[in-house]
Amino acid sequence: MSVKKKIGVVITARASYSRCKTALEAIRDHESLELMLIVTASALLGRFGNAAKVMEDDGFTITARVYNVVESGNLTGQVKTTGLGMIELANVFDSLKPDVVVTIADRYETMSTAITAAYMNIPLAHIQGGEVTGNIDEKVRHAITKLADLHLVSTTRAKERVLKMGEAENLVYVTGCPSIDLAHAVQEREAIDLNFNPYNYGGVGSQPALGDGYLVVMQHPVTSEFGLAREHIEETLWAVEELKIPALWFWPNIDAGSDGTSNGIRAFREIRKPEKIHFFKNMPPTQFLQLLKGSKALIGNSSVGIRECSYLGVPIVNIGSRQKGRERGANTIDVSYDRHEIISAVRQQLAHGPYSGEQIYGQGNAGVAIADILAKAELQSDKRITY
Amino acid sequence: MSVKKKIGVVITARASYSRCKTALEAIRDHESLELMLIVTASALLGRFGNAAKVMEDDGFTITARVYNVVESGNLTGQVKTTGLGMIELANVFDSLKPDVVVTIADRYETMSTAITAAYMNIPLAHIQGGEVTGNIDEKVRHAITKLADLHLVSTTRAKERVLKMGEAENLVYVTGCPSIDLAHAVQEREAIDLNFNPYNYGGVGSQPALGDGYLVVMQHPVTSEFGLAREHIEETLWAVEELKIPALWFWPNIDAGSDGTSNGIRAFREIRKPEKIHFFKNMPPTQFLQLLKGSKALIGNSSVGIRECSYLGVPIVNIGSRQKGRERGANTIDVSYDRHEIISAVRQQLAHGPYSGEQIYGQGNAGVAIADILAKAELQSDKRITY
Amino acid sequence: MSVKKKIGVVITARASYSRCKTALEAIRDHESLELMLIVTASALLGRFGNAAKVMEDDGFTITARVYNVVESGNLTGQVKTTGLGMIELANVFDSLKPDVVVTIADRYETMSTAITAAYMNIPLAHIQGGEVTGNIDEKVRHAITKLADLHLVSTTRAKERVLKMGEAENLVYVTGCPSIDLAHAVQEREAIDLNFNPYNYGGVGSQPALGDGYLVVMQHPVTSEFGLAREHIEETLWAVEELKIPALWFWPNIDAGSDGTSNGIRAFREIRKPEKIHFFKNMPPTQFLQLLKGSKALIGNSSVGIRECSYLGVPIVNIGSRQKGRERGANTIDVSYDRHEIISAVRQQLAHGPYSGEQIYGQGNAGVAIADILAKAELQSDKRITY
Amino acid sequence: MSVKKKIGVVITARASYSRCKTALEAIRDHESLELMLIVTASALLGRFGNAAKVMEDDGFTITARVYNVVESGNLTGQVKTTGLGMIELANVFDSLKPDVVVTIADRYETMSTAITAAYMNIPLAHIQGGEVTGNIDEKVRHAITKLADLHLVSTTRAKERVLKMGEAENLVYVTGCPSIDLAHAVQEREAIDLNFNPYNYGGVGSQPALGDGYLVVMQHPVTSEFGLAREHIEETLWAVEELKIPALWFWPNIDAGSDGTSNGIRAFREIRKPEKIHFFKNMPPTQFLQLLKGSKALIGNSSVGIRECSYLGVPIVNIGSRQKGRERGANTIDVSYDRHEIISAVRQQLAHGPYSGEQIYGQGNAGVAIADILAKAELQSDKRITY
């Protein structure tokens, strides 16, 4: 009888779950792997979409929960959340004894996962390394590359970067991004589910009719521009109101600036009572992608625009510095934090309509590929730079 | 009136202090810099040499103290110490508001300094990046390179590596290692201070006469070989006893394995009551270098062998994997954890005698060079990989 | 030249600041005392009224800030906030070296202050011990009495209880409650400030005219009834809407259940769009008391009703278990979490009108009395039960 | 089918385990109880006797481990250890969901257990409340009484104190102290096990012959006299050496002053090389009690002298303030930290010889009594002072 290899995956946020859901399924269902699902940080909090509950509703069993969000209203909160995460993950790893730990992408609190695994001599696999963005994510992502023992990257250019940073070629795999797997599944369907009504997924604000087309908005605060979050979100709010097109707006992640972003949205709603905007906290990934696929354009700074929308061919208006440097498709118009630029770019996208899909971030089989590599890779936690 | 640039330097261990002492002096004495000296982790603990007290005796003023050593007897302690360090350094940086934070080398707990500065948008300068070793230090060092905004490296090969990892050329400087500044000063003196008696610096065990020559021993546990620490130290203990040459033995750093190393030394002393070995907890850097300069050879796995001894031309017997990959001079014989190999290598070094000094790690002016660069560099905390 | 005695006061919440403001002023202004004001927990957070800013606006200098709120959405958050508070206050006390530490009342996170002082052998003074309530506050308050070395209580019955618990008679003083000092000052004024418009203090919701009378509402979640917070707040919301009298509603403290309470309020506002309710986050204490003095009644479970309103003679409707056991005046009608009971009691109070003020919780000079006792008391941190 | 009541017992130190071992056995073996054994703090550390391993060797299964010892060399370490304990126990209780949590006695870090249970609305049972001592233990013990919902005390006077502090009579039980259960079992045996050789239990130092009688020494640092620990231990060391009677010395607990105590012992051993003293780190409780029973006298400040030795009739010389106020038997002579007083008192006890045993702290059935009460008590976490 063979013992299954224990794969500890740490999920810290709603968006990270969406992004690796198919990998989680493939690990759970793989005959030689055992999934240990560890949920931490904002993924446990109601006001950030309670990803833990979404996972359970999707049929996953949560192995351990780590409550570590420190709220400070300034940048110390990110540091403390990460530090507290390490303190607590050390217990969890000591108790669960995973054979491999998997960390996703580049949110600041994922550093907890990476350091804890590295210091406890547990091999670390990193999904979505090697990309380029602005912001603190850029530092986090590459630092994790230097702590990780296995690299499961989304694009061939990402692989090149990881190799240049001195990682061994036999430990870097281009799997594509698992978020594209969901987009692929949604793309395959004939049309949007006729019974799908986004307003069934809660949220607040008016419920404009969507039949004549709608926009989706998703804008996160940028940590290195802390203090400007409110000003930035207000430009977008005014632009969207001015456009007078129905808009479905998704609440931002927890981040140092989220007070500014959240307060900006709250005050705007209070004062302007926008008639054509509905605000969501969260939606299951598949439904969210259906919504995106059916939309006229995505506005904001989410990586969903760069990744899933390029695959689906949805036009996007990408605001500000957050996605700077990331590979992007023909579907993107970049603008700065300026209501006039935003309005103009949205109108340009409306005039253009849908784009042809591109496969920059994968072909739709990343989840299974990741599970297979985790199953077959012989990993150790000791490594050395290649030059 | 110009305001001085505030340089926050975080010292986490006795050895790190020794290694950057001349840089601290040069920063303190620089007309446009203000030194904020933050002492944490084992540098505050008596059983690891109370580096804080040594600094004060050397005339430094300590700006803040952070008590964060978590003792666990297993690898969780390293994680928790680092996490707790972040939680507390966030307060310290929030309160002191340094313009630049400086972190030294690659000990695991230095990751606290690097992450806290990065997440709080404070430019981070890293001393001694770009080198190669074995062990968790290897991961820590390169991850810190990816978090740092200014690189003050010791060797030209280190600079090449930092550039290859994607750092911008204008932010990487070869300053040499400040530890060589002290070696340089000691080297310049005619001879060992006639009044210098190492036994004045405390310690336990017999006090063999040193007139006919002596060995120095300094061996740290290796975190990735946790569990073997006791076995490893015993090989060295038996070898040194067998050699029947007076030996001055320095107690190891705090580390996951230090229980094994410390217990090994304690048990050996108890049972064997070695007549020719004296054990020190600590000694001021200058006196320690004088002692090294006067010794027949250094035995162990300390980087002092690789750095200062190559400059001074002192023969070394380097044991095990800890310094694997680091640039070294002609003065080094590498051996494994084996008493016979150790004995044989020591005898070979005794037969050879002193080597010519080499300037691999600097020429003796690193401290001043570092302070000057910190004063003139215009830093920001936002960066992007160069490829 | 005499050295001032250093008094470290730790403020953890908006309400605690209001409650001890006159004591802070008296300590600051006392010739032989130096005030060290340490602000922590929700007192630093915008979404709980940013008490730190209010203090600065009131002319206080904040000596240290400790960011320690852990947000978990369940009861672990209270534990972790308190634990993190201890970890950080230890640094603060080690650095500031107060001669005495002062802690206020019975909020869960004040246990951080009490334990840290006790374990560091710093004499601890406790304001507002010896009272009786329901909830976790009851345990916290009496546990702090057993950790404290000086007791500055509000009522003679509180003194009796503290003595019965085994405290030494010479260390228990009835000073009255400093919150009454503010009520006293407001009471002394002829009438409400003619220029005082509560809507200048922000908040959200409609702005009903107040000329014909208004209610004030302030209802906190009860930690031992975690899970019922939303249900409880909804009863009050429905009752207040049904009463059709203008109401000024104050947002609850941060607490384990505040998600339930806050969500209840948010959903109600969203769905019912109440026309006669305005919601405040915060208001400076003096203005708040003016508002109370001018109101028809206070509804909820705040201790402001029991204390200040009994002094001012304002009718109150006290809901549920939170104030159970606390001494109260003739101005109080107790009801359970039931909209019908609430409505009926409010109508009874409206029919009755204002009460005569009572001096159960003090006469208006508590702040000065507290400062004087702190100045003259010779304290030590070692004590023993009296029986 | 009935579900067993889950009893979470938190053990933080070697001595606490010894003191409640029979209660743990009785809970484990009770038909309606499930034991959840949670081991934390110094109970996990090798240098404090690795109580966790002793428990496993005794046949217990450890349910969870919490590594939380912060080493600071000053009093901040106690605070931080306790704070970190809370942060981590919150996770453990959230995950294990015990029906009742049990905490033992009055060590500083037990406050973690008490607060975490109280804040999470889990009924708390406290063993050994209501006694009187000096030191921080005094504050901790009574504060825990005010946090606890069930009191399992050792003596009738302890019960009286707990009632006076305002606890409800139906929740206070005199069970005796479980440590007496072991003493009872040892007392019942005819004589010391002929094959029992204490030197089989490790330790360091000479191994004097014990046939003509021996002393046992156990002296802990006193936290409120931090800084004097080394001076205090030296008086005892000199006295014991001067007496020239074989002595078996047990290493102190982890505590703020343990560096002073430990360093005092180490230096003394180094310099004086005492011929008649053997030093132990730990010994299983039964063997330790056999050793005590066979000894001429116990010297030091351990509560073992006050409790077990009064039952066994072993003479004790109790040094300093640590046990001040605790009920004691005729077997005790109290002395101050003075070598002459110590020597004189030991000689007096040698002249007297064994005393009659007294049952102040129980009759030998406390463990079973505790388990039965835990099984039948209907507990809730909400309480109110009785006056």
Per-residue pLDDT tens over the stretch A118-177: 999 999 999 999 999 877 999 999 999 999 999 999 999 999 999 999 999 999 999 999
C contacts of B64 (beta carbons < 8 Å): 95
Interface of D with C in 311-330 (CB under 8 A): 324-325
Q: What is the dihedral of CA B310, B313, B318, B323, to 10 degrees?
A: 0
**Average pLDDT of A105-120?**
97
Percent of chain D with pLDDT over 90: 77
Q: pLDDT at position D218, please? A: 95
Separation between Cα atoms, residue C31 and residue D46, nearest integer Å: 52
Contact C252, C219 (CB under 8 A): yes
Q: What is the pLDDT of residues A209-234, one digit of tens each?
A: 999 999 999 998 887 777 888 999 99
Q: What is the pLDDT of residues D331-380, one digit of tens each?
A: 999 999 999 999 999 999 999 999 999 999 999 999 999 999 999 999 99
Q: pLDDT at position D353, please? A: 96
Residues across chain A: 387
The neighbour count for residue B110, using CB atoms within 10 Å, is: 26
Token duo for residue D309? 């030795």
- DSSP-derived 3-state class of residue D24: helix
Q: What is the pTM of this model?
A: 0.90
Residue with tokens 């002016």, as numbered in its chain? B365
C contacts of A69 (beta carbons < 8 Å): 70-72
Of B60-64, C226-230, D140-144, D338-342, the least confident: C226-230
- Hey, is the C-beta of A61 within 8 angstroms of any chain D C-beta? no
Is the CB of B144 less than 8 angstroms away from the CB of A144? no
A40, A106, A115: best to mutate for the B interface, most B CBs within 10 A: A115
Pairing of strands D215-218, D247-250: parallel
Instruction: Report the candidate in B233, B196, B202, B198 with the shortest Cα–Cα distance to residue B218.
Output: B233
- Hey, is the C-beta of C44 within 8 angstroms of any chain B C-beta? no
Contact A6, A32 (CB under 8 A): no
B contacts of C88 (beta carbons < 8 Å): 87-88, 91
Say if residue D144's pLDDT is above 90. Answer: yes
Q: pLDDT at position A48, please? A: 83
User: H-type helices in D99-252, by residue range?
Assistant: 110-119, 135-147, 156-164, 178-188, 229-243
Query: Residue C217: beta bridge partners?
Result: C249, C299
**Average pLDDT of D69-84?**
95
Reported as a pLDDT band with limits 50, 70 and 90, residue A44 is: very high
Percent of chain C with pLDDT over 90: 77
C contacts of D166 (beta carbons < 8 Å): 142, 161, 164-165
Contact A2, A350 (CB under 8 A): no
Is the CB of C91 less than 8 angstroms away from the CB of B94? no
Q: pLDDT at position D34, please? A: 98
Separation between Cα atoms, residue B370 and residue B287, nearest integer Å: 24
Contact B158, B174 (CB under 8 A): yes
CB pairs under 8 A between A and B: 158
Q: Which of D80, D115, D136 is the closest to C118 by Cβ?
A: D136
C contacts of A269 (beta carbons < 8 Å): none
Q: pLDDT at position D254, please? A: 62
Say if residue C247's pLDDT is above 90. Answer: yes
C contacts of B52 (beta carbons < 8 Å): none
Q: pLDDT at position B362, please? A: 95
Instruction: Report the candidate in C120, B84, C382 with the shortest Cα–Cα distance to residue D256.
Output: C120
**Average pLDDT of C4-12?**
98
Separation between Cα atoms, residue C299 and residue C345, nearest integer Å: 10
Is the CB of A86 less than 8 angstroms away from the CB of B83? yes
Pairing of strands B5-11, D215-218: unpaired
3-state SS of chain A: helix, strand, coil percent to 5?
Answer: 45, 15, 40
- Which residues are CB-contacts of D113 (< 8 A; sequence separation ≥ 6)? D10, D12, D85, D89, D101, D103, D124
D contacts of B67 (beta carbons < 8 Å): 70, 72-74, 76-77, 80
- Hey, is the C-beta of D71 within 8 angstroms of any chain A C-beta? no
Q: Which of C44, C68, C70 is the closest to A67 by Cβ?
A: C70
CB pairs under 8 A between A and D: 25
A contacts of D65 (beta carbons < 8 Å): 91, 94-95
Q: What is the pLDDT of residues D259-282, one digit of tens each?
A: 788 888 888 988 888 999 999 987
How far off is chain D from B257, nearest CA to CA, in Å? 12
Interface of B with A in 121-180 (CB under 8 A): 121, 132, 134-136, 138-139, 142-147, 160-161, 164-166
Instruction: Report the candidate in C320, C329, C321, C350 with the shortest Cα–Cα distance to residue C247.
Output: C350
Contact C84, C111 (CB under 8 A): no
* DSSP states of A324-351: TT----TTEEEE-S-HHHHHHHHHHHHH
Low-confidence ranges of chain B (pLDDT < 50): none
Q: pLDDT at position C91, please? A: 94
Reported as a pLDDT band with limits 50, 70 and 90, residue A192 is: low
Instruction: Report the candidate in D23, D143, D36, D27 with the shortest Cα–Cα distance to residue D82.
Output: D143
Separation between Cα atoms, residue D110 and residue D86, nearest integer Å: 10
Is the CB of A70 less than 8 angstroms away from the CB of C70? yes
Single-letter code of the amino acid located at B116? T
**Neighbouring chains to D with at least 3 Cβ pairs closer than 8 Å:** A, B, C
C contacts of B91 (beta carbons < 8 Å): 65-67, 88, 91
Token duo for residue B80? 């928790």
Q: What is the pLDDT of residues C107-133, one digit of tens each?
A: 999 999 999 999 999 999 999 999 998
The neighbour count for residue A21, using CB atoms within 10 Å, is: 23
Contact A376, A125 (CB under 8 A): no
The neighbour count for residue C3, using CB atoms within 10 Å, is: 8
B contacts of A116 (beta carbons < 8 Å): 79
Is the CB of B87 less than 8 angstroms away from the CB of C90? no
Reported as a pLDDT band with limits 50, 70 and 90, residue D307 is: very high
Is the CB of B46 less than 8 angstroms away from the CB of D80? no
Is the CB of C72 less than 8 angstroms away from the CB of A69? yes
D36, D62, D87, D120: best to mutate for the A interface, most A CBs within 10 A: D87
* Rg from Cα positions in chain D: 20
How far off is chain D from C122, nearest CA to CA, in Å? 10
Separation between Cα atoms, residue C45 and residue C29, nearest integer Å: 27
The neighbour count for residue B283, using CB atoms within 10 Å, is: 22
Q: Which of A47, A69, A71 is the closest to C45 by Cβ?
A: A71
A contacts of B108 (beta carbons < 8 Å): 119
Cα C14 to its chain centre, rounded Å, is: 7
Interface of C with A in 249-268 (CB under 8 A): 259, 263, 266
Q: Which of D86, D146, D382 is the closest to C79 by Cβ?
A: D86
Q: Which of A64, A65, A88 is the closest to D88 by Cβ?
A: A88
Separation between Cα atoms, residue D237 and residue D277, nearest integer Å: 10
Token duo for residue A228? 């400007």
C65, C86, C88, C91: best to mutate for the B interface, most B CBs within 10 A: C91
Token duo for residue A79? 């540091």
Is the CB of D143 less than 8 angstroms away from the CB of C146? yes
* DSSP states of A62-95: P-EEE--EEE-SSTHHHHHHHHHHHHHHHHHHHH
Contact D291, D248 (CB under 8 A): yes
Give the single-character DSSP code of B330: T
Q: pLDDT at position C99, please? A: 98
Cα D179 to its chain centre, rounded Å, is: 8
Separation between Cα atoms, residue C7 and residue C203, nearest integer Å: 35
Q: What is the pLDDT of residues D160-207, one digit of tens each?
A: 999 999 999 999 999 999 999 999 998 887 555 656 889 988 888 899
Give the single-character DSSP code of D225: G
Cα D167 to its chain centre, rounded Å, is: 24
- Which residues are CB-contacts of A5 (< 8 A; sequence separation ≥ 6)? A32, A33, A34, A99, A100, A374, A375
- Hey, is the C-beta of B11 within 8 angstroms of any chain D C-beta? no
Query: Which helix or strand (DSSP H or E) is residue B367 part of?
Result: helix B366-376
Of A66-75, A109-118, C30-39, D258-267, the least confident: D258-267
Instruction: Report the candidate in A43, A48, A19, A41 with the shortest Cα–Cα distance to residue A282.
Output: A48
Q: What is the dihedral of CA B67, B68, B70, B75, to 10 degrees?
A: -140
Higher confidence at residue B317 or residue D50?
A: B317
Q: pLDDT at position B190, please? A: 57
C contacts of A270 (beta carbons < 8 Å): 204
Token duo for residue A282? 């969260």
List the strands of the sheet with B5-11, edge to edge: B64-66, B33-40, B5-11, B100-104, B124-127, B150-153, B172-174
pLDDT averaged over every residue in chain C: 92
How far off is chain D from B276, nearest CA to CA, in Å? 16
Q: pLDDT at position D42, please? A: 93
Is the CB of A82 less than 8 angstroms away from the CB of B119? yes
Is the CB of A116 less than 8 angstroms away from the CB of B381? no
Is the CB of B324 less than 8 angstroms away from the CB of A384? yes
Single-letter code of the amino acid located at C113? T
Is the CB of B95 less than 8 angstroms away from the CB of C66? no
Q: Which of B84, B139, B387 is the closest to A118 by Cβ?
A: B139
A contacts of B165 (beta carbons < 8 Å): 142, 146, 164-166
Signed CA dihedral, A17, A20, A25, A27: sign only: negative
The neighbour count for residue C354, using CB atoms within 10 Å, is: 15
C contacts of B66 (beta carbons < 8 Å): 91
Q: What is the pLDDT of residues D216-246, one digit of tens each?
A: 999 988 877 778 888 999 999 999 999 999 9
Token duo for residue C108? 């869960």
Q: Which residues of C306-330 are buried (b: 16+ CB within 10 A; e: fewer)?
A: bbbbbbbbbbbbbbbbbbbebbbbe
The neighbour count for residue B376, using CB atoms within 10 Å, is: 9
Is the CB of C44 less than 8 angstroms away from the CB of A80? no
Query: Which helix or strand (DSSP H or E) is residue A304 part of?
Result: helix A303-306
